[in-house]
């Protein structure tokens, strides 16, 4: 019996009888973060980090069946030690450390190593077995520095203003949008946001996060209200009639997928900004190395490829099929945006 | 190079014509003269000769990045572009330099006589000094294929604006036989160059008719001809020399020896617009016949006999040494008919006009298109001048409906470039007994929305993967449209289609309702 097992309902710890980010309803679920492919409906009990709790509670409409712990705090369940450690993916996101009789497993959830100025920085956790994502597990993914990307975003916003266009920037409602708010030069002009983003942002603000002021885009607003503004919207708004009221506008997308010219062009954006909340190739390798794990399980993304690469580097690595939506993440996030709007 | 890379980025970042023109003009304003002409050349697909094979580039990049070859190949299949894959996997350069575009082009040309080891050393030296977009552009200069949506027409507009020369003058000057190796920017764009006697006129291209033919107004104002299914060409006789140009701006004089007769038929200072067509017994042969001549290096007398080629003329662009494109079509047509009448010869065929006085008569004539081996009807306004490039208004093509067949998707492959990462290229099959026999590939015709839907479906219904190809459950039915059908020994199904594309997704049809191989064979018998 392994400390963690991969079952039809999700990642399972038989010794404690709990699941980590399960995709089917279970009795007790430990949740890494609030994205829809990790925090799902229908479990009896939820456990997550204190900073992740308000979002998960809001998204899943939970009342009293959710509990939270601080980062690093140990929770004993049936003699198994669980603790949450920063994953750097979005504010409050965690890796889950599991220990029994000296054997340590870590489930990373989603993570990135680059500091975004908002999320608790990723913390390497030593372990025997590491379960890693691989959304961007190919050597062609290599992120530019965040400062460079925001220089570009600021320049683009200014250029849009000069050309009389509204700068519309698409990024996921949960995490990416707040990262943009935190790092963009808010002195350039008014920042306006889609309703789905305003809701999430306000939840973070209530937790004490300091973000520049935003104005929610309302149906009755006229083009003049958007003059010179930066409008942040979820990716699902691309191609929707909602965008029309900003004409003329310049459309930017902030995503790791924008690292490839093909994806950039396919999405029909004027500008692609390479801004990812997942680790790039170098970060994935660094993270795996720093855990010191001999056994690596690779979940969503280019899992087959990354597992083969690790195997060739002497690790016992294998691909695990999960229902986290690496390859389909664009779609997943779109669904998630819808969930948030409701 | 940085300035050129910036231009590339700007062109790549927008689909709007005006923005592209603006980007080009501001580039031309600051670029070195030599860089300017190379830029015009590269964006009109005249890149320097390839001096290093793509295979070596991939291998060296893989080595330098410390990756196994399989991982490079996996990456390439996701990125879909070799030059881009290479620039993404390479480590950041140690030093950044900013030599000119011309410097790097000469650098690439200088590799030609070198041994492979020397080439490798040189290429690594370049990768050592170039980062980001510069490196991507450098790789592209070697591998070719700058697809940044700069059409000839767009380039003409930008140059006209920058050089303050009329568009039609620029368009004419950019045509023909120039090379950045031997021409300067000044001679190409700014001087009236009479040196190049081969220079063709830019082709006037028609749009497909939108809406009904009635919307064109009074039928007597229009001339109608068959729309021929050959290669658009221009035949020019000047100074006792013959030049044959194809629409791809390729000089193809040598490929059609029978056209030598034009030296006798046409007076000096004549340029005709028309169709290069295999022609026998007063009728065009199918396009498949022409294809047997296109790819051929040497034209044997046997081939000349089997697939004789004529020129089906429909317009005169130069007459007695003068550019007559501004004459109304009727006047040009009169000259053309007179020319064909004085010296009848099988190689010069006149594209006949269709008699009609009502749109319904023409509609009826259109139903006979296939009997003439034509693709439909061309409509030209009688008083129209001969314009350049693709334009709306005076010329329209009114094509016949394509053949269609319902087929089952059995393989999917990810697209390239714009569509990398998405499954966009599909292989289709029809029934032969209880077997599905693949018969064609098609990769266009779906909306972006549908492509995304099919892509998701493919990812969830894969039965097998081999490299970039996935076989999928035979479940989705599509209507495939195509323009022609021919026998083929290279295909398992025994047939080859011309211009196959997806007409629509038949969500209403079950797999069992797809067409059969017999249906295809029947089409082959009647139209092949
Ligand atoms: Zn996530
Ligand atoms: Zn995820």
Q: Which domain holds residue B393?
A: 204-398
Pairs of CB atoms within 8 A across A/B? 70
Residues B117 and B27 in one domain: yes
My answer on whether A19 and A136 are in the same domain is yes
Taking only the tens place, the pLDDT of each residue in B144-175 is 777 777 888 889 899 999 988 888 788 888 87
Is residue B127 domain-shared with residue B239, that is, in the same domain?
no
On whether both B133 and B8 belong to a single domain, the answer is: yes
- Within-domain flag for A298: yes
Task: Say what the pLDDT of residue A337 is.
Answer: 35
CATH number at residue A175: 3.40.50
Shared domain check, A131 and A167: no
pLDDT of B99 strictly over 60: yes
Q: Do residues B488 and B432 share a domain?
A: yes
State pLDDT tens for residues B287-340.
777 777 776 667 788 888 888 899 999 999 999 999 999 999 999 999 999 999
Establish if A151 touches chain B: CB-CB under 8 angstroms: no
Are B357 and B251 members of one domain?
yes
Say whether pLDDT at B234 is over 60.
Answer: yes
Backbone angles phi, psi at B310, to 5 degrees: -115, 170
Instruction: Inform me whether the C-beta atom of residue B88 falls under 8 Å from chain A C-beta atoms.
Output: yes
User: What pLDDT sits at residue B467?
Assistant: 65
Higher pLDDT, B186 or A13: A13
Q: How far is CA A243 from its chain centroid?
A: 24
Distance from CA of B146 to the nearest CA of A (A): 12
Q: Is there a single domain that holds both residue A94 and residue A40?
A: yes
pLDDT at B295: 66
More confident residue, B177 or B35: B35
pLDDT confidence bin for B370, thresholds 50/70/90: confident
Both A182 and A293 in one domain: the answer is no
Query: Is there a domain that residue B417 lies in?
Result: yes
A265 and A282 housed in the same domain: no
Q: Does any domain span residue B152?
A: no
Tokens, residue A138: 């190919």
Residue B249 clears pLDDT 80, i.e. is over it = no
Q: How does DSSP assign B255-301, residue by residue?
A: G-GGGGGHHHHS-SSEEEEEEEEEEETTEEPPHHHHHHHHS-SS--H
Domain count, chain B: 3
Residue B208 domain-assigned? Answer: yes
Contact A142 B88 (CB under 8 A): yes
Mean pLDDT computed over every residue of chain B: 87
Residue B8 and residue B128 in one domain: yes
CA of B397 to the centre of ligand 1 (A): 52
Report, as ranges of residue numbers, the positions in chain A whose pLDDT lies below 70. 325-342
* Domain match, B119 and B10 both: yes
Q: Do B429 and B344 have their domain in common?
A: no
If asked whether residues A227 and A305 sit together in one domain, one would say: no
For residues B258 and B391, membership in a common domain is answered with yes
Is A14 contained in some domain?
yes
Chain A residues whose beta carbon lies within 8 Å of the beta carbon of residue B456? 328, 331
Exposed, middle or buried: residue B379 (CB in 10 Å: 0-12, 13-18, 19+)? buried
Could you tell me if A287 and A237 lie in one domain? Answer: no
Question: Which residue carries 């298109």 as its tokens?
Answer: B369
Same domain for B282 and B329, yes or no, is: yes
Q: How far is the CA of A327 from the centre of ligand 2 (A)?
A: 10
CATH of the domain at A90: 3.60.15.10
Check if A42 contacts B (Cβ < 8 Å). no
Burial of A321 (0-12, 13-18, 19+ CB in 10 A): exposed
Tell me which chain B residue has its CA closest to the CA of residue A306.
B71
Helix axes B54-65, B82-89, angle to 10 degrees: 20
Burial readout B55-88 (b: 16 or more C-beta within 10 A, e: otherwise)? eebbebbbebbebeeebbbbbbbbbbbbbbbbbb
User: Is residue A89 assigned to a domain?
Assistant: yes
Residues B331 and B226 occupy one common structural domain: yes
For residue A338, the model assigns a pLDDT of 35
pLDDT of residue A342: 25
pLDDT the model gives residue A83: 97
Asked, for residue B349, whether it belongs to a domain, the answer is yes
Answer whether 0.90 is exceeded by the pTM: no
What is the rounded distance in angstroms from the CA atom of residue A232 to the CA atom of residue A229?
Answer: 10
From first CA to last CA, the distance across chain A in angstroms is 42
Q: For residue A53, what is the enclosing H or E element? A: helix A53-60
The Å distance, Cα A332 to ligand 1 centre, comes to: 10
Q: What is the pLDDT of residue B492?
A: 77
pLDDT at A341: 31
CATH number for the domain harbouring residue B17:
1.10.3260.10
**Position B419 pLDDT exceeds 60:** no
With respect to residue A334, please indicate whether it lies within any of the assigned structural domains. Answer: no
Q: Is residue B197 part of a domain?
A: no
On whether both B415 and B433 belong to a single domain, the answer is: yes
Q: Give the nearest partner residue to A261 out of B72, B84, B456, using CB atoms.
A: B84
**Token pair of B26 as six digits:** 């501001």
pLDDT digits (tens, 9 = 90+) for B429-478: 999 888 898 999 887 788 888 888 898 899 888 888 776 778 899 999 99
pLDDT band at B528 (very low <50, low <70, confident <90, very high): low
DSSP strands (E only) in B20-71: none
Q: Are residues A18 and A98 in the same domain?
A: yes
The distance from CA B366 to its chain's CA centroid, rounded to whole angstroms, is: 26
Q: Is residue A158 part of a domain?
A: yes
pLDDT given at position A332? 34
Q: Which two tokens stand for residue B243?
A: 């030049």
Give the closest residue to B373 by CA, choosing from B527, B487, B256, B209: B527
Q: For A320, which DSSP code?
A: -
In a domain, A341, yes or no: no
- Asked, for residue B183, whether it belongs to a domain, the answer is no
Task: Check if the beta carbon of residue A165 is closer than 8 Å to that of residue A227.
Answer: no
pLDDT value, residue B417 = 53
Residue where the block lists tokens 């007063």: B282
A328 near B CB under 8 A:
yes
Residue A321 in any domain: the answer is yes
Residues A233 and A157 in one domain: yes
Q: What percent of chain B has pLDDT over 90?
A: 45
Angle at A320 between CA A314 and CA A322, to 5 degrees: 155
Task: Say if B10 is an interface residue toward chain A (CB within 8 Å).
Answer: no
- Is any Cβ of chain B less than 8 angstroms from the Cβ of A243? no
**Residue A28 confidence (pLDDT):** 97
Mean pLDDT of the B403-427 span:
81
**In this structure, how many other beta carbons lie within 10 angstroms of the beta carbon of residue B116?**
11
Domain boundary, last residue among B346, B376, B398 = B398
Name which of A140, A262, A328 is nearest B419 (Cβ-Cβ).
A262
B75 in reach of chain A (CB within 8 A): yes
Partner residues linked to B498 by β-bridges:
B484
| Judgement on whether residues A124 and A205 belong to the same structural domain of the protein | no
Domain count across chain A: 2
Please, what is the end-to-end C-alpha distance for chain B in angstroms?
A: 52
The per-residue pLDDT for range A98-147, each reduced to its tens digit, is 999 999 999 999 999 999 999 999 999 999 999 999 999 999 999 999 99
**Could you list the residue range(s) of the whole structural domain that residue A256 is in?**
146-274
Query: What is the DSSP code (8-state) at residue A257?
Result: G
Q: Which of A260, A261, A331 sits opposite B456 (nearest CB)?
A: A331
Last residue of a domain, one of B118, B143, B168: B143
How far is residue B89 from each of residues A282, B22, B71, B316, measured CA to CA in Å? 11, 32, 10, 54
| Domain contains A333 | no
Residues in CB range of B419: below 8 A, 6 or more apart: A262, A266, B80, B451
Instruction: State in Å: Cα A275 to ligand 1 middle.
Output: 14
Question: Considering B398, B430, B445, which residue would you say is the last residue of a domain?
Answer: B398
Residue B192 lies in a domain: no
> CATH number for the domain including B236?
3.30.470.30
A203 & A255 share domain? yes
Same domain? For A161 and A211 the reply is yes
**A237-284 per-position pLDDT tens digit:** 887 889 999 999 999 999 998 998 877 777 778 899 999 999 999 999
CATH code of residue B514: 2.40.50.140
Mean pLDDT across the stretch B194-204?
80
E strand segments, B433-500: 435-442, 462-466, 469-472, 477-482, 484-487, 495-498
Helices (H) and strands (E) in chain A, counts: 8, 19
CA-based torsion, B33, B39, B44, B49: positive or negative: positive
**Residue A222 contacts B, CB cutoff 8 Å:** no
């Amino acid at each position: 019996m392994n400390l963690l097992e991969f079952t039809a309902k999700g990642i399972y710890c038989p010794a404690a009888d709990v699941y980590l980010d399960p995709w089917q309803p279970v009795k007790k679920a430990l949740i890494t973060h609030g994205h829809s492919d990790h925090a799902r409906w229908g479990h009896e009990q939820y456990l997550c980090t204190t900073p992740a709790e308000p979002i998960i509670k809001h998204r899943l409409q939970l009342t009293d069946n959710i509990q939270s712990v601080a980062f690093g705090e140990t929770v004993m369940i049936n003699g198994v030690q669980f603790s949450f450690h920063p994953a750097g993916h979005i504010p409050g996101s965690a890796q889950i450390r599991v220990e029994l009789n000296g054997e340590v497993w870590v489930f990373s959830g989603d993570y990135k190593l680059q500091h975004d100025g908002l999320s608790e920085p990723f913390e390497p956790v030593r372990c025997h077995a590491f379960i890693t994502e691989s959304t961007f597990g190919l050597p062609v993914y290599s992120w530019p520095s965040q400062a460079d990307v925001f220089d570009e975003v600021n320049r683009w916003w200014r250029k849009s203003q000069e050309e009389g266009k509204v700068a519309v920037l698409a990024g996921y409602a949960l995490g990416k949008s707040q990262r943009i708010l935190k790092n963009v030069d808010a002195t350039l002009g008014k920042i306006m946001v889609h309703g789905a983003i305003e809701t999430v942002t306000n939840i973070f603000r209530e937790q004490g996060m300091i973000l520049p002021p935003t104005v929610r885009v309302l149906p009755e607003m006229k083009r003049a209200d958007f003059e010179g503004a930066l409008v942040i919207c979820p990716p699902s708004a691309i191609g929707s009639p909602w965008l029309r009221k900003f004409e003329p506008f310049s459309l930017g997308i902030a995503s790791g997928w924008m690292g490839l010219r093909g994806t950039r062009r396919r999405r029909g954006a004027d500008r692609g900004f390479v801004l990812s909340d997942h680790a790039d190739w170098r970060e994935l390798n660094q993270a795996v190395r720093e855990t010191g794990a001999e056994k690596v399980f690779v979940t969503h993304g280019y899992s087959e490829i990354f597992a083969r690469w690790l195997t060739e580097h002497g690790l016992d690595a294998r691909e695990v099929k999960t229902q986290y939506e690496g390859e389909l993440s664009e779609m997943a996030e779109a669904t998630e945006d819808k969930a948030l709007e409701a | 190079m940085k300035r050129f890379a910036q231009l590339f980025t700007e062109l790549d970042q927008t689909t709007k014509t005006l923005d592209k023109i603006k980007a080009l003009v501001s580039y031309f304003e600051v670029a070195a003269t030599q860089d300017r002409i190379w830029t015009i050349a590269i964006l009109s697909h005249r890149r320097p000769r390839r001096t290093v094979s793509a295979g070596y580039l991939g291998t060296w990049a893989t080595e330098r990045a410390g990756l196994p070859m399989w991982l490079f190949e996996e990456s390439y299949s996701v990125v879909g572009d070799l030059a881009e894959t290479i620039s993404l996997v390479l480590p950041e350069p140690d030093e950044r330099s900013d030599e000119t575009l011309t410097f790097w082009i000469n650098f690439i040309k200088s590799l030609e006589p070198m041994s492979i080891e020397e080439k490798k050393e040189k290429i690594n030296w370049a990768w050592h000094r170039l980062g980001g977009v510069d490196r991507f552009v450098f790789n592209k200069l070697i591998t070719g294929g700058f697809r940044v949506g700069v059409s000839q027409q767009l380039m003409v507009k930008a140059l006209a604006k920058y050089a303050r020369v009329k568009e039609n003058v620029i368009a004419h000057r950019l045509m023909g036989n120039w090379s950045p190796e031997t021409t300067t920017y000044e001679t190409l764009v700014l001087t009236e160059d009479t040196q190049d006697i081969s220079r063709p006129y830019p082709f006037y291209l028609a749009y497909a008719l939108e809406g009904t033919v009635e919307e064109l107004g009074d039928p007597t104002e229009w001339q109608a001809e068959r729309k021929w299914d050959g290669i658009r060409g221009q035949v020019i006789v000047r100074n006792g020399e013959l030049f044959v140009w194809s629409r791809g701006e390729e000089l193809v004089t040598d490929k059609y020896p029978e056209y030598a007769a034009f030296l006798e038929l046409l007076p000096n200072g004549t340029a005709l617009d028309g169709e290069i067509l295999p022609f026998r017994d007063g009728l065009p042969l199918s396009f498949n016949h022409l294809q047997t001549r296109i790819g051929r290096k040497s034209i044997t007398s046997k081939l000349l006999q089997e697939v004789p080629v004529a020129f089906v003329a429909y317009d005169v662009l130069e007459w007695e040494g003068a550019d007559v494109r501004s004459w109304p079509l009727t006047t040009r047509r009169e000259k053309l008919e007179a020319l064909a009448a004085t010296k009848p010869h099988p190689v010069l065929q006149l594209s006949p006009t269709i008699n009609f006085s009502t749109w319904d008569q023409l509609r009826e004539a259109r139903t006979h298109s296939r009997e003439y081996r034509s693709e439909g009807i061309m409509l030209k306004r009688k008083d129209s001048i001969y314009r350049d490039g693709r334009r709306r208004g005076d010329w329209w093509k009114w094509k016949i409906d394509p053949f269609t067949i319902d087929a089952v998707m059995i393989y999917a492959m990810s697209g390239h470039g714009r569509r990398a990462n998405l499954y966009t290229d599909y292989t289709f099959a029809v029934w032969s007994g209880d077997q599905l026999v693949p018969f064609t590939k098609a990769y266009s015709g779906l909306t972006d929305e549908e492509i995304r839907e099919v892509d998701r479906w493919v990812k969830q219904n894969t039965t097998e993967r081999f490299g970039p190809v996935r076989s999928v459950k035979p479940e989705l039915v599509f209507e495939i449209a195509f323009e022609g059908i021919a026998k083929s020994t290279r295909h398992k199904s025994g047939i080859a289609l011309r211009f196959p594309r997806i007409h629509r997704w038949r969500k209403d049809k079950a797999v069992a309702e797809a067409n059969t191989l017999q249906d295809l064979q029947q089409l082959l018998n009647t139209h092949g």
